[in-house]
């Protein structure tokens, strides 16, 4: 099984927010228009650096997500590149209108860092595990939504969204994740990455679920099933071409996300496949349920997010091929 850009064996475990900060420390030195805004959120290395070196480029507005997002929009209105930092559940859940109206409506150059994104914020429980962020944000015009898979991709995304002029939301999952990609992995906003090539079916994965998706392809390969694995780091605008091509060439699909399949990556891929190249499709993700406290392993088992669940879904999709 040939794997593209993948480290053998996987590299160090790291939280995405740490990787983001490592990239951001360099970016704030290079680009003086970057401003960091926080909603009572730990600053990380980049925030601490700015606090010391240039305190007029860092603001914490307290536990006030609505004000956080709109203040960032105002700063972008005056030519700055604000990055906002708070828990995703509160950015999306409490400041949805501010993201829609104050940021996306006028295409302001605001970068909304969705910290502790998705379902797998283990200990915190259902009130803090956001399952609907992809569905909610995907429906907002002008907004780019990205979801890195590992620390290397997190850094590449952080640099890429700084270059990109316009509103972006960045999903950063909470748990430390293994380093999957080699440093030289080429990243392009909006272009899906073929991590593994295959002909029998396609897995389309986003965010931290890439590790489990990769494990599923390995398990399936041992059974003689050769699966293509696409890493969909840009959820919007989604790489339609790659999805259609994969549907045409492999004839069966499984989407994988740490988020609700209703309107999530699963919904996005289903829309494209049904309209362009109908093939059997299964969606791995949260199935219309709220979260709960637990270890990452317990939650993955309970919500059917394991490599085993992914592999099983692939087999079911293949079985339904004509």
Partner 1 sequence: MVYDEKLFKKLEEKAKILRRDAVEMIRAGESGWMGGSFSQADIIAALMFHHMKHDPKNPQWEERDRLIVSKAHCCETVYAALAEAGYFSKKEYQSYGQFGALLQAHTERNAPGFEYSGGSLGEGLSFALGEALAARIGASKDKSGRSMPRFRVFCIVGDGESNEGQVWEAVMAAAHYKVDNLVAIVDHNKFQSSGAVEERINIMPLAEKWQAFGWDTMEIDGHDFNQILSALEKVDKVKGKPHAIIAHTTKCKGVPSFEHKNIHFCKLSDEMYAEAIKALK
Residues that bind partner 1 (CB under 8 A): 32, 35, 56-57, 59, 61-62, 64, 66-67, 70-80, 82, 97-98, 101-102, 105-106
Judge whether 251 and 201 are in contact, CB under 8 Å. Answer: yes
Between 67 and 292, whose beta carbon lies closer to partner 1? Answer: 67
Between 21 and 98, whose beta carbon lies closer to partner 1? Answer: 98
204 phi/psi in degrees, rounded to 5:
-110, 120
Judge whether 227 and 221 are in contact, CB under 8 Å. Answer: yes
We find the least distance from the C-beta atom of residue 64 to partner 1, in angstroms, to be 4
DSSP β-bridge partners for residue 84: 37, 112
We find the least distance from the C-beta atom of residue 52 to partner 1, in angstroms, to be 16
Show the tokens assigned to 76.
């972008």
Between 37 and 238, whose beta carbon lies closer to partner 1? Answer: 37
Cα–Cα distance, 65 to 70 (Å, whole number):
9
Between 81 and 149, whose beta carbon lies closer to partner 1? Answer: 81
We find the least distance from the C-beta atom of residue 76 to partner 1, in angstroms, to be 8
CA distances from 38 to 71, 72, 186, 225, 280 (A): 11, 10, 30, 47, 43
Between 41 and 181, whose beta carbon lies closer to partner 1? Answer: 41
Between 109 and 205, whose beta carbon lies closer to partner 1? Answer: 109
Which pairing describes strands 6-14 and 177-181: parallel, antiparallel, or unpaired? antiparallel
CA distances from 106 to 34, 76, 77, 101, 103 (A): 19, 10, 9, 8, 6
Judge whether 293 and 122 are in contact, CB under 8 Å. Answer: yes
Judge whether 148 and 170 are in contact, CB under 8 Å. Answer: yes
Residue written as token pair 């939280």: 15
Between 36 and 157, whose beta carbon lies closer to partner 1? Answer: 36
Judge whether 195 and 3 are in contact, CB under 8 Å. Answer: yes
We find the least distance from the C-beta atom of residue 86 to partner 1, in angstroms, to be 13
């Amino acid at each position: 099984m040939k794997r593209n850009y993948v480290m053998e064996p996987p590299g160090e475990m790291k939280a995405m927010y740490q990787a983001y900060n490592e990239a951001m420390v360099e970016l704030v030195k290079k680009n003086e228009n970057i401003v960091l805004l926080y909603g009572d959120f730990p600053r990380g290395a980049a925030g601490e650096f700015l606090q010391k070196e240039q305190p007029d480029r860092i603001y914490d507005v307290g536990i006030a997500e609505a004000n956080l997002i709109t203040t960032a929009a105002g700063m972008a209105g005056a030519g700055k590149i604000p990055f906002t930092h708070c828990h995703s559940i509160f950015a999306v859940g409490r400041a949805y209108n501010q993201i829609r109206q104050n940021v996306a409506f006028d295409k302001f150059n605001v970068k909304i860092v969705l910290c502790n994104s998705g379902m797998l914020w283990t200990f915190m429980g259902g009130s803090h595990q956001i399952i609907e962020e992809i569905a909610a944000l995907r429906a907002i015009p002008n907004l780019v939504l990205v979801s890195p898979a590992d620390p290397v991709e997190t850094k590449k995304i952080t640099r890429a969204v700084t270059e990109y002029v316009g509103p972006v939301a960045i999903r950063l999952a909470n748990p430390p994740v293994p380093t999957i990609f080699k440093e030289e992995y080429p990243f392009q906003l909006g272009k899906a990455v073929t991590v593994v090539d295959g002909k029998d079916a396609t897995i389309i994965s986003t965010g931290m679920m890439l590790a489990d998706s990769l494990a599923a392809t390995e398990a399936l390969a041992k059974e003689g099933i050769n699966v293509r694995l696409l890493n969909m780091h840009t959820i919007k605008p989604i790489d339609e071409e790659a999805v259609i091509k994969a549907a045409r060439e492999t004839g069966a699909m499984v989407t994988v996300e740490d988020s609700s399949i209703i309107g999530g990556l699963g919904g996005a891929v289903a829309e494209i496949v049904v309209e362009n190249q109908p093939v059997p499709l299964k969606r791995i993700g949260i199935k219309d349920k709220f979260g709960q406290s637990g270890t990452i392993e317990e939650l993955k088992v309970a919500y059917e997010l394991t490599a085993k669940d992914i592999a099983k879904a692939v087999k079911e999709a293949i079985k339904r091929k004509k």
